[in-house]
Structure 1
Amino acid sequence: MNSTPCGPLTSSEEIPAAGFGALPRAGRLLGKELATMNERREKMTGMRKIIADNMRVSAQIPQALGALRIDMTALLSCSEKLKAEGRGVSMTSFLLAALGQVLRENPSLNSRFEGDEVIYYDEVNAGVAVANDAGLMIVVVKGIDRKDLFTIDTEFKGLMQRLRAKKLRMEDITGSTVTLSNLSKEKLQMFSSLITNQECLIVGMGGVGKEPVVIADDQIAVRSVANLMVNMNHIIIDGMPAARFLEMMQERLEHPAEFLVPSTL
């Protein structure tokens, strides 16, 4: 009789001597309880099938995750001031504005691979992951490296309106060179996104929450903080460029009046 850390295996439970390869299919390992339960199977179609196919491709890409804590206090204050002035800007638009600036200064990160070639782009088109009834979709804000915060916000909100009205055009969902997943309104603090479209980077923002933080002169203050994550495509870049990318994003997000909206505050 064989044994496991949880106790001995009875003869009826023992794995064949030939090993797992001798099992007819993985489903046979589900156990007696599941084997006797009623089940319902649905073939994946439409958006769910597209997502599944894309994720299978993405899973083959060697990728690594990096993260940095961001003090979002100044940005949230900036957002509230703009809202009071009648110029409310979404958190996603702040992230896109910072992303456009950083990639403009680091054009090698605005890229993707195809076969044995790396393709570099002279315009930053950001795909934004958004959830809707059909599943996960990517809407694309074009040319964020050449547009200011308010233009980016107007275009992003226009995309969201067309998404809700189910009037998205092909150019609204194609042509991304980098992808952003913003979960700053959720409780989830850390997550790893899968790279899409063989791009160099996918950027994620976790939930914003209040925490005690050590500030100047070793004082402790309650600040609004969040994790900024980047999954890098190890085929294209190594760890150091990704680390510098996060640091440059941190600088812009923590000093929005200086970098993102200098003419308004």
Structure 2
Amino acid sequence: MATTIVMPKLGMTMTEGTIEEWLKKPGDAVEQGEGIATISSDKLTSEVEAPEAGVLLNITKEVGEEVPVGEVIGFVGHEGEEVSETASTLLEEKEEKPEALSQQAAPKETVDPLMNQKQDGPNRKRRISPAARKKAKELDINIATIEGTGPKGRITRRDVERAVEQKEVAVTKEQVEETVVERPIKTSNMKGLSAMRKSIAINMQESLANTAQLTLHRKADITELIAFQKKLREEADQNNIEIKLTITVFLARAVTLSLLDHPEVNTHLIDDMLQQYEAVHLGIATSLDNGLVVPVVKHAERLPLGSLARQIQGVTEAARAGENVEMSGSTFTITNLGAHGIEYFTPILNPPESGILGVGTFMKEMELDEHEKLQTMIKLPLSLTFDHRVLDGSPAAVFLRKIVHYLENPYLLLL
């Protein structure tokens, strides 16, 4: 009997995923554990693996379609084996049955008129998923005008969204033609946002719309920190200790200690209620090929420098590999653009946090020492964005100064 392939649950909050790409087509041989499709949620992208060896018999969901967790997206079985009508439509019947029962029991005047019409022609009954029906109702779209692209002409949520897009394009075109005729702008390609990109867009827009953000800039002299880092790396190598002591690790430790010294920054403002945390849960902004995620190091205040380094390496590598890693609950975030040569920038708050630290690239500067002699200093640009509803400029500046103090006195990071 054919084995079902279902939409997996990538994270605790995931309710549906999007089919990004089918890596195999019906009829292709597959090995158990081999990737057969790429899916994405609002935070992660991952591959769906074949549950057993055999042949990909059938695909029930198309690229771009949003599928609830646990719903069947395809079948794997033996070559020549047929997927029964019952098996391939079992989930559809399960979704449609409650609605049919509800319509049977409803008063006559509330029954959908499409139910009593012929099953062919323009007024035929439409197969539509519950998610698509809900979306059509929200957007006030007549499902009779939508052509379904799902199995057996079933209307999917993506079909509804596509109908809205086409309607908006038509309206916009009509308005332009009525007002002024302009030279058309040529476009090389048009495509919709990925699930991850849409999530980032929504979060960033909400962050700017719902907070009062202000950014402070200053540099830290990390000349001694660089020497300290080199010394620790040498000690680790001599003692066969595998550890990745990056500048981000020292920054994370400095931020953690500063948050313990200034707990008013380690806060969330939710519904006019300010929640202050004793624990420090650090978000480490991590860039991916197709977006940005913020894996979280929980209880950074409990971790000495070495353990903190391993935790940061672990969560960032897992995030880049598309593995299931904690992405929520951070109380403060660090984002680093130094590798791209950026000096100062204005990071956007990661809601509902009250602060985020942006880190730039190393800068060499010549300064006079206490003996009036020129010396080369290594400076690190820092950009602190904070929510002015929670903090005023002065305490925010004191907090940033504290971070600089720890970076300029690196031995304190071990205490």
How far apart in 2 are the matches of 1:34 and 1:224?
52
Change in CA separation of 1:207 and 1:24 when aligned onto 2, cut-off 3 Å: same
Aligned-partner residue type, residue 204 of structure 1: G
Cα drift, residue 251 of structure 1: 0.7
1:69 Cα shift?
1.1
SS for the counterpart of 1:85 is helix
What amino acid sits opposite 2:359 in the alignment?
M
> 1:160 & 1:119 partners in 2: Cα distance?
27
CA contact (8 A) 1:110 1:177 kept: yes
Aligned match for 2:222, one of 62, 65, 72: 72
Query: What residue is the counterpart of 1:199 in the other structure?
Result: 353
C-alpha separation between the residues in 2 aligned to 1:219 and 1:168?
53
State the Cα distance separating 1:47 from its structure 2 match.
1.0
Q: Is residue 70–residue 227 contact of structure 1 (8 Å, CA) maintained in 2?
A: yes
Match of residue 310 from structure 2: 154
Superposed displacement of residue 198, structure 1:
2.3
Question: Counterpart in 1 of 2:194?
Answer: 45
Residue identity over aligned pairs, in percent, reads 28
Deviations 1:183-238 (A, max 9, x none): 23331100000011121101111101211123324433111112111001011111
Match of 1:63 in 2: 213
Residue matched to 1:245: 399
Mapping for residues 1-265 of structure 1, pairs under 5 Å: 35-60=184-209, 61-86=211-236, 87-169=243-325, 172-257=326-411, 259-261=412-414
Between Structure 1 and Structure 2, how many residues are aligned? 235
Supply the distance in 1 between the matched residues of 2:183 and 2:310 (Cα, whole angstroms): 51
Unaligned regions of 5+ residues in structure 2, if any?
1-171, 237-242
Q: Secondary structure at the match of 1:151?
A: helix
Cα shift at 1:38 = 3.6
Say which SS state the counterpart of residue 252 (structure 2) adopts.
Answer: helix
Q: CA separation in 2, counterparts of 1:253 and 1:143? A: 21
User: Structure 1: 5+ residue runs without aligned partners?
Assistant: 1-22
Q: TM-score, normalised by structure 1?
A: 0.82
Larger Rg: 2
Structure with the larger RCO, 1 or 2 (CA within 8 Å, 6+ apart): 1
The root-mean-square deviation of aligned C-alpha atoms, in Å, is 2.4
SS in 1 for 2:391: coil
Q: Is contact 1:103-1:145 (8 Å) kept?
A: no
TM-score norm. by structure 2 comes to 0.53
The answer as to whether partners of 2:251 and 2:407 remain within 8 angstroms in 1 is: yes
Distance in 2 (CA, whole Å) between partners of 1:191 and 1:67 is 9
